[in-house]
């Protein structure tokens, strides 16, 4: 098997365009035994990989966990999300969206909540949202109108078999501005060769007073700073760009979004279980994940909650 590599000459940052770069080192891929170089922008601190493998890396083996990321299990998520640990994350995202809407939305509004899951993968979150009665806002249970955006075999199945609207990026660009009340972008931006264009698309797609819930690895977390490019999250075949809280805030402001702080709960439990998967008996790991202090320690070490999400307000001051 071979992949066509897309070689981006490391002559400028893929976020800010600066030509001042520092080589931070190189290492072979976890699954694809090719050497990848890591460059950090001296101006904005974006860390990125060169070369970048083509989309063929995201084959059926990748989606069943037989590729660079052994913790991926899309088939189980597609078949029955409720039997996977990701249910903790989905419940958490719904909680955060509801909390935000009750604080910021028009309490008398009764229209459906338009929710876009950008990078919807196997569609577990879409199915979870479809199974909900809605979100209580004021005195009204507002129905959730969920759709996704992605490419590949699962996106095709979600559209053809499960009846979800799956948007291409081009289709999203053609929609009217401000089409979605809630956008989730969970572990997506680290896969993108040119992330700034996606941030611009998300900002354009988000309605005024809308919420973007985004997660990605934190390269300024204590564990990441101690490990450098050997941080386990640095999987160069698939994770080709790395953010930190300060850079993420800067990017949000540049595209017209307001950085906001969210405190994850169920998402932490899911990430904790994902990271210790296979190292402890499942029942024991599940018991451990009930300890809030342990999850807070995990949150600190990995810097999960330190990464801001964003909202779209007329006033862009951080909240």
Q: Could you write out the DSSP letters of every residue in 270-291?
A: HHHHHHHTTTS-HHHHHHHTT-
Q: Are the CB atoms for 92 and 265 separated by under 8 Å?
A: yes
Q: How much is the average pLDDT of 91-103?
A: 96
Lowest mean pLDDT among 16-25, 52-61, 84-93, 189-198: 52-61
Q: Could you write out the DSSP letters of every residue in 123-186?
A: -HHHHHHHTS--EEETTEEEPEEEEEE--SHHHHHHHHTT---EE-HHHHHHSPSS-EEEEEEE
Residue 227 domain-assigned (yes or no): yes
Residue 316 domain-assigned (yes or no): no
For the CA atoms of the chain, what is the radius of gyration? 19
CA distance 50 to 246: 23
CA nearest neighbour of 285 among 300, 297, 270, 296? 270
Instruction: Report the pLDDT value the prediction gives residue 168, as an integer from 0 to 100.
Output: 96
Rounded to 10 deg, the angle between the 266-276 and 86-104 helix axes is 160
pLDDT for residue 16 is more than 70: yes
Residue 318 domain-assigned (yes or no): no
Instruction: Report the pLDDT value the prediction gives residue 277, as an integer from 0 to 100.
Output: 83
pLDDT for residue 221 is more than 80: yes
Residue 319 domain-assigned (yes or no): no
Residue 98 domain-assigned (yes or no): yes
pTM: 0.93
pLDDT above 90: percentage of residues in the chain? 78
pLDDT above 70: percentage of residues in the chain? 95
pLDDT for residue 292 is more than 90: yes
Beta bridge partners of 26: 37
Q: Which residue has the higher pLDDT, 293 or 105?
A: 293
Question: What is the count of structural domains for the chain?
Answer: 1
Domain limits for position 287: 5-311
What is the end-to-end Cα distance of the chain in Å, rounded?
48
CATH code of residue 174: 3.40.50.150
Residue 13 domain-assigned (yes or no): yes
């Amino acid at each position: 098997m071979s992949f066509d590599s897309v070689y981006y000459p490391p002559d400028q940052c893929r976020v800010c365009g600066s030509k001042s770069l520092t080589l931070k080192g190189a290492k072979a891929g976890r699954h694809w035994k090719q050497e990848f170089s890591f460059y950090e922008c001296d101006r904005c601190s974006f860390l990125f990989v060169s070369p970048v493998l083509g989309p063929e890396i995201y084959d059926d083996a990748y989606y069943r966990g037989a590729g660079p990321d052994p913790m991926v299990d899309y088939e189980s998520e597609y078949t029955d999300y409720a039997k996977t640990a990701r249910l903790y994350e989905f419940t958490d995202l719904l909680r955060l969206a509801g909390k935000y809407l009750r604080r910021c939305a028009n309490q008398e509004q009764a229209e459906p909540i338009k929710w876009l899951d950008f990078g919807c993968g196997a569609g577990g979150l879409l199915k979870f949202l479809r199974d909900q009665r809605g979100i209580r806002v004021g005195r009204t249970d507002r129905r959730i109108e969920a759709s996704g955006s992605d490419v590949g075999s699962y996106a095709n199945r979600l559209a053809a078999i499960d009846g979800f609207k799956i948007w291409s990026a081009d289709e999203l660009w053609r929609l009217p501005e401000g089409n979605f009340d809630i956008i989730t972008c969970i572990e997506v931006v680290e896969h993108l060769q040119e992330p700034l264009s996606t941030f611009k698309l998300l900002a354009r797609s988000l309605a005024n007073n809308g919420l973007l819930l985004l997660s990605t690895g934190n390269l300024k977390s204590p564990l990441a700073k101690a490990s450098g490019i050997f941080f386990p999250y640095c999987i160069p075949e698939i994770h080709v760009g790395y953010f930190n809280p300060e850079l993420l805030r800067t990017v949000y402001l540049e595209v017209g979004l307001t950085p906001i702080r969210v405190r994850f709960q169920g998402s932490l439990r899911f990430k904790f279980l994902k990271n210790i998967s296979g190292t402890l008996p499942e029942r024991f790991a599940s018991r451990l994940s009930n300890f809030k202090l342990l999850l807070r320690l995990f949150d600190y070490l990995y810097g999960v909650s330190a990464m801001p999400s964003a909202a779209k307000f007329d006033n862009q001051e951080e909240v």
